[in-house]
Structure 1
Amino acid sequence: MKNLKTLLFITLMSSLCLTAQNNDTKKADKQFARFEFVKASESYSKLIEKGKADAYVYGQLAECYYNIFNTVEAEKWYAKALESTSDPEMIYKYSEMLKANGKYDESNKQMEKFASMRPSDDRATAFRKNPNYLPKILEQGKKFNVQNADFNSEQSDFGGTVNNGKLYIASSRNDNRKTYGWNQEPFLDIFSLSKNSDGSYQAATLMNDKINTRYHEGLVSFSPDGETMYFSRESYFEKDFEKDSISKVRYSQLYLFKATKLGSDWDTVESLSINSENYSVKNPSVSTDGKTMYFASDMPGGYGNFDIYKAPIKEDGTLGEPQNLGQKVNTEGQEMFPYISSNGTLYFSSNGHLGLGGMDVFYTKEIDGKMAPIRNVGIPINSNGDDFAFTIDEEAEEGFVSSNRDGGKGSDDVYAFKKLQPLCDVLVLATVLDDKTREPIEGASVGLVDAEGNKVATKSTNADGIAEFIIECEENVELEVAMEDYDSKKVSVSGTSEEELAVQISLDPIEKLIVEDKIELQPIYFDFDKSNITAQAAFELDKLVQIMNKYPELVVKATSHTDVRGTASYNNLLSERRAKSTVQYVISKGIDEARISAEGKGESELKVNCGGNCTEEQHQENRRSEFIIISGGPQQE
């Protein structure tokens, strides 16, 4: 973003409000505190030329370049500063600059350092969980065709909100505005553009002075009827600002305003009730039904510098209590530029989630009151620069994203895109039914197990017998379904690229497992030469526990069998250990030890008598447990 939006939409971070370290740096520090990063970088550079540099000067120079997104120079000076300091946040930013410059291996080394210093930081946790995330993002394929828009200027242009056939952007192309010291560009205004029949756009039109002031204005969003516009503006206009006693710099917040359509223009601008002189609110996005506004804020109680929030829009047009979207969406970094699309997908930009460098666009969706896993939109929407202000018409499958990537016309450009393929997420609709009545079962537990056997989520079915999960495309998973008085089931779900996948699971009564004098579970297999209970074995043994809880008079003997590998005496001992571990598992679930006994059979009762030519599958069939009813149960009552 050339970090112009770090002022506008990250807002004057308090960490930049530095006092002079000494007389040598006084001038540069004052320029830095005023966010005049171009001038400050020149002043710090002169100190280096004069031999008056130390880790502080190198770090400040790196910060200047970081804030105007000169990644090459920022990388250079962070590296120099880190020769004599080990500040974790500086290491993180150094990693980001390396990544932005395509030095992924070196970036990961710095992330390892950062993670070791701040192991509980969200960014460190995410990296440790998935250190090889970059190839996955780069290899997932191009889902969009992205083109630089023809209306970009040599200044900063970003946004892309469509309302009643017009496109609205924020731009610093208005040369009549004063330049701002951050990057020597004019203050931002809101412009509208009309589209020609050939798809090109007419010249940008500056909105009226009720909307644009001599201060910064930013992104816009509209009510569903198009009669109300919400937008960001600096609080200077409201005469709300603080003045630093040392640097004499005035610090403003970002506020949200709304304007009402009057004829063909906009009027009656009002400040929203959630504005506060103590924090910023910005980047509005109104839901399709007009009932909810999403926005970014650094209000107290968040997880990072800026977080994504939502607030209800009341019938009188005022906003209700803001709600933080939680730690799954928000990190200790920056989350900004939310956009809620017509199908309920939330897109936003972040430098806290794992990405390609700078800010990347991510997406998620709210299901059953919870946010689905956060996904990186991938290339070419994302680059190793800052990518932000993503909007999309889900029906037309086209939209806009802004970026300061290489090859643009200005410091930030708007890019038009066309969606080529579905984003690779699949909504799994698991419906659980009673096999006999075909009625839905409410309250059944449905677990989602990934390809590595990890249970990643568990949900209860609703009144319609449905539990919903979001998985990645082409991902093979398994559903584990359990319900009291029913036989639990596992169902494999093959990977697909479809947007939705319906899976129906029918459950039988638990009594169906009782056949004559045995309880017939799926085979309880053990690994070769092992006697510990595996996750697969536990799933089956829980059925035995359920039956024994339902029939308290039931007494069972567990027998364990081995394959033919090993001596007979060794196999007898091994099967005895397996039988005992099986019994111990059942007892650990609350079953009286007097109701279940164990017996090891060794290799004396093979299920597959294959001699010395057994396949691994046949060996596994022979490594099993069986459950014999001694007394009690429905068959004996």
Structure 2
Amino acid sequence: MRKHFFWISSLILLGLGSCKSLVEKGDNQFLSGQYQYAISTFGQILQEDSTNLKANQVVAESYRLSNRIEKAAPYYKQVVEQEPDFNNFFFLGQSLKAQQNNQAAVEAFEKAKTYTSDEALLARVQREIESIKLAEGIANYWPNHVLVNFKELNTPGADYAPVTSENFFYFTSARQASGIYPATGTPYTKLFRTRAEGLRVDVGAVQTLPEFKNEEGLNQAAMAISPDGNTIIYARGNSNSSKDLPEVALFASYFRGAGFTQPIWMPVNEDENWWNSTPAFSSDGAELYFASNRPGGYGGIDLYKATKLANGDFGNAVNLGPTINTPGNELFPRPTPDGKLFFASDGHPGYGKLDLFVAEKNDSGAQVIKNLGQNFNSKDDDFGIFFTEYPKVGFISSNREGGVGDDDIYFFEDKTPKPKIVNVLLNVFAKEKKDNGTDAAISQARIVLYGSDNKQQGGDFSNTNGRVRFTIAPESDYTIIASKNGYFSKSVPFTTKGKTPDPASLIQEVTNVTLDTTIYLDQLILEKAIVLENIYYDLDKAEIRSDAEVELDKLVKLLQDNPSIRIELSSHTDARSSDAYNLDLSQRRAQSAVDYIVSKGISADRLVAKGYGESQLIIKDAQTEEEHQVNRRTEFKVIEIKE
């Protein structure tokens, strides 16, 4: 991955005379950034003397500076035995961490702390130790995403950093190489494209980038294409020529009617000696994200953002700050339309070298960083995420074990099992009770269904069987309101909670469940008395008892469901006391019932309290207690229906 574009500035290549010793030759190779050649040269010395300090130092540093720090561990071990200091123990710890030899890495970091009193260095070591501990508790960000090596596309060389645009698939590859990059000993890379639709890539039609010509003898690396397809920005550098730019920089090519222009160096680079790479556009194309080692950052490589100016260039870059950037390296930014930023880092807690992370806002609005987890990350480099269908489908790059070659392209898909569907059909029947005790269907009753949010979910008129059918959701609460002229309207609660099977227990993809409920409506007849059952008072008392409250609450509900009616609430006694006493007692009881109903929110002007005493006996010559109870009753009748 980064070994194709992530290098310390190359110094001027010194001419090597044939008479120079291996040490002089290797030194010059190292100083000129030809790390792989330096490793080979000093390797010859180590074959004769495995403890040679100079050779171990140069080989260890060459592996570290060419992003192969995991291979540097045995050489740093030799170095710290002979020259123990902070840097050597710190880099040994990093190399062991990259191997996921965490216990040994922590021991090396702890040793490094004993060789410095610098607060900044101590803080950096402690961050490395804490990141190892934190990595042990990482959860998968998307537990059901599955990563697959795109074997048909990958080659034994490097293939990485794919992006898609307008049904084309673009990527960087070492296929058709034009020379060897001396820092790593691997082939230079070029830009390629082929036809694609989502994850369906035409691997048989891969061609070098047709928009402009790849240059020979240098690395053309990660690229970005603007949302409108009219701008291509890519990283270019690592040339062997002393006449070329000394560092990796961003170049841009623009579509101008007949085709794309020749790439030009972008002003956002600012300084030709600064390393700039891994560009990405925001979803609206107004911002450019990229990685840079320019001064003033928080570590080796930081992420920056620049905003497009009126002339089409991108303005001064702004560092994304210490929450995202670390003393390590952050690369391959990928902003998404929902405000998240995906990126690769070796500075946040992870599994080894570069891991994939996301920066997002938590519930309090603070930005937090999350590792994508083990289904995306490995102990090796994992980077360059690109979504073809956010967040479910896309690509990443990785040089993890088991791949086809060097860096490989992987695709991922969300394999979350489709939830079993439960369709709930609710039959609501509108009926009335006849005097003979039988049920009769009410046709043309208006039946309306409301959700728990009080929003109407549906409504219709009942058919000749009194039925209306609704499709509703499992584990949900509803309210059903039934109404018809000549009847009291009624609202009743209905729930599907506990009435449908657990989807996890189902085998079929779709299960239909039918539920029935019946709403009984009472006829609304002016001046017709309706007895309220179970309204009892203590002897010679008018206060409402708790058992009577239950029945009065039903009347409250009826008044709420029928806001246009006005009622008289009447109380009747038996004939066992004087007329005057019974009339006064019944009036007080009727008024107590009305007062209770008003306390529940019903307007007083909708209620009339009337005590009839013993003047309207149902059984005039009552003898038994049961007959007296029939006469002692509370009734209501509708006395007015407002239009």
Judge same fold: TM > 0.5, yes or no. yes
* 2:167 alignment counterpart: 165
Describe how 1:176-187 pairs up with structure 2 within 5 A: 177-187=178-188
Shift of 1:51: 3.2
* 1:363 alignment counterpart: 358
* 2:111 alignment counterpart: 113
Indicate the larger mover: 43-52 or 383-392: 43-52
Task: Describe the SS at the equivalent of 2:368.
Answer: coil
Shift of 1:140: 7.5
Describe how 1:498-577 pairs up with structure 2 within 5 A: none
Shift of 1:396: 5.5
Aligned to 1:88, which of 86, 91, 108?
86
Describe how 1:284-303 pairs up with structure 2 within 5 A: 284-303=279-298
Shift of 1:355: 1.4
Shift of 1:367: 8.4
Shift of 1:131: 5.3
Looking at structure 2, the residues matched to 257 and 60 of structure 1 have their Cα atoms a distance apart, in angstroms, of 33
> Cα–Cα, structure 1 residues 77 and 393, in superposed 2: closer, same or farther, change >3 Å?
same
Shift of 1:71: 6.1
* 2:9 alignment counterpart: 12
> Cα–Cα, structure 1 residues 407 and 235, in superposed 2: closer, same or farther, change >3 Å?
closer
> Cα–Cα, structure 1 residues 131 and 11, in superposed 2: closer, same or farther, change >3 Å?
closer
- Is 1:144 matched up with 2:130? no
Task: Describe the SS at the equivalent of 2:312.
Answer: coil
> Cα–Cα, structure 1 residues 298 and 211, in superposed 2: closer, same or farther, change >3 Å?
farther
> Cα–Cα, structure 1 residues 211 and 339, in superposed 2: closer, same or farther, change >3 Å?
farther
Aligned to 1:401, which of 384, 396, 401?
396
Describe how 1:334-353 pairs up with structure 2 within 5 A: 334-353=329-348
Looking at structure 2, the residues matched to 408 and 170 of structure 1 have their Cα atoms a distance apart, in angstroms, of 16
Indicate the larger mover: 329-338 or 359-368: 359-368
> Cα–Cα, structure 1 residues 421 and 327, in superposed 2: closer, same or farther, change >3 Å?
farther
> Cα–Cα, structure 1 residues 365 and 237, in superposed 2: closer, same or farther, change >3 Å?
farther
Give 1:166's aligned amino acid. Answer: F
Looking at structure 2, the residues matched to 165 and 190 of structure 1 have their Cα atoms a distance apart, in angstroms, of 16
- Is the contact made by 2:132 and 2:350 (CA closer than 8 Å) also made in structure 1? no
* 1:386 alignment counterpart: 381
- Is the contact made by 1:97 and 1:357 (CA closer than 8 Å) also made in structure 2? no
Structure 1 residues 251-309: Cα deviation after superposition (integer angstroms, max 9, x where no partner) = 72122122123569533433211222231221111101111111111112112121111
> Cα–Cα, structure 1 residues 119 and 136, in superposed 2: closer, same or farther, change >3 Å?
farther
Indicate the larger mover: 346-355 or 193-202: 193-202
Describe how 1:252-267 pairs up with structure 2 within 5 A: 252-261=246-255, 266-267=260-261
Task: Describe the SS at the equivalent of 2:411.
Answer: strand
Looking at structure 1, the residues matched to 261 and 31 of structure 2 have their Cα atoms a distance apart, in angstroms, of 36
Shift of 1:123: 3.7
- Is 1:330 matched up with 2:325? yes
Shift of 1:414: 1.1
> Cα–Cα, structure 1 residues 224 and 315, in superposed 2: closer, same or farther, change >3 Å?
farther
Aligned to 2:44, which of 46, 59, 69?
46
Shift of 1:26: 1.0
Looking at structure 2, the residues matched to 24 and 169 of structure 1 have their Cα atoms a distance apart, in angstroms, of 39
> Cα–Cα, structure 1 residues 323 and 374, in superposed 2: closer, same or farther, change >3 Å?
same
Shift of 1:119: 4.7
> Cα–Cα, structure 1 residues 297 and 94, in superposed 2: closer, same or farther, change >3 Å?
same
- Is the contact made by 1:59 and 1:77 (CA closer than 8 Å) also made in structure 2? yes
Give 1:267's aligned amino acid. Answer: T
Task: Return the TM-score normalized by structure 2.
Answer: 0.57
Give 2:215's aligned amino acid. Answer: T
- Is the contact made by 2:3 and 2:67 (CA closer than 8 Å) also made in structure 1? no
Task: Describe the SS at the equivalent of 1:355.
Answer: coil
Shift of 1:419: 3.6
Structure 1 residues 578-624: Cα deviation after superposition (integer angstroms, max 9, x where no partner) = xxxxxxxxxxxxxxxxxxxxxxxxxxxxxxxxxxxxxxxxxxxxxxx
Aligned to 2:158, which of 156, 173, 194?
156
- Is the contact made by 2:93 and 2:108 (CA closer than 8 Å) also made in structure 1? yes
Structure 1 residues 107-133: Cα deviation after superposition (integer angstroms, max 9, x where no partner) = 222233345646534643434556521
Q: Which has the larger radius of gyration?
A: 2
> Cα–Cα, structure 1 residues 13 and 221, in superposed 2: closer, same or farther, change >3 Å?
same
- Is 1:135 matched up with 2:136? yes
- Is the contact made by 2:94 and 2:105 (CA closer than 8 Å) also made in structure 1? yes
Looking at structure 1, the residues matched to 361 and 278 of structure 2 have their Cα atoms a distance apart, in angstroms, of 20
- Is the contact made by 1:235 and 1:255 (CA closer than 8 Å) also made in structure 2? no
> Cα–Cα, structure 1 residues 398 and 240, in superposed 2: closer, same or farther, change >3 Å?
farther
Structure 1: 5+ residue stretches without partners: 242-250, 423-637
- Is the contact made by 2:247 and 2:272 (CA closer than 8 Å) also made in structure 1? yes
* 1:232 alignment counterpart: 235
Count of residue pairs the alignment pairs up = 407
Looking at structure 1, the residues matched to 366 and 10 of structure 2 have their Cα atoms a distance apart, in angstroms, of 28
> Cα–Cα, structure 1 residues 223 and 297, in superposed 2: closer, same or farther, change >3 Å?
same
CA RMSD of aligned residues (A): 3.5
* 1:532 alignment counterpart: none
Task: Return the TM-score normalized by structure 1.
Answer: 0.58
- Is the contact made by 2:393 and 2:411 (CA closer than 8 Å) also made in structure 1? yes
Task: Describe the SS at the equivalent of 2:55.
Answer: helix
Task: Describe the SS at the equivalent of 2:295.
Answer: coil
- Is the contact made by 2:10 and 2:247 (CA closer than 8 Å) also made in structure 1? no
Structure 1 residues 76-97: Cα deviation after superposition (integer angstroms, max 9, x where no partner) = 1111111122343333332233
> Cα–Cα, structure 1 residues 411 and 84, in superposed 2: closer, same or farther, change >3 Å?
same
Task: Describe the SS at the equivalent of 1:92.
Answer: helix
- Is the contact made by 2:302 and 2:330 (CA closer than 8 Å) also made in structure 1? yes
Identity across aligned pairs (percent)? 26
Looking at structure 1, the residues matched to 220 and 359 of structure 2 have their Cα atoms a distance apart, in angstroms, of 28
Looking at structure 1, the residues matched to 51 and 255 of structure 2 have their Cα atoms a distance apart, in angstroms, of 56
* 2:27 alignment counterpart: 29
Looking at structure 2, the residues matched to 110 and 258 of structure 1 have their Cα atoms a distance apart, in angstroms, of 44
Describe how 1:237-256 pairs up with structure 2 within 5 A: 241=244, 252-256=246-250
> Cα–Cα, structure 1 residues 325 and 114, in superposed 2: closer, same or farther, change >3 Å?
farther
> Cα–Cα, structure 1 residues 420 and 126, in superposed 2: closer, same or farther, change >3 Å?
farther
Indicate the larger mover: 262-271 or 209-218: 262-271
* 1:306 alignment counterpart: 301
Looking at structure 1, the residues matched to 381 and 164 of structure 2 have their Cα atoms a distance apart, in angstroms, of 22
Task: Describe the SS at the equivalent of 1:418.
Answer: strand
Task: Describe the SS at the equivalent of 2:285.
Answer: coil
* 1:210 alignment counterpart: 212
Structure 1 residues 505-550: Cα deviation after superposition (integer angstroms, max 9, x where no partner) = xxxxxxxxxxxxxxxxxxxxxxxxxxxxxxxxxxxxxxxxxxxxxx
Looking at structure 2, the residues matched to 37 and 296 of structure 1 have their Cα atoms a distance apart, in angstroms, of 23
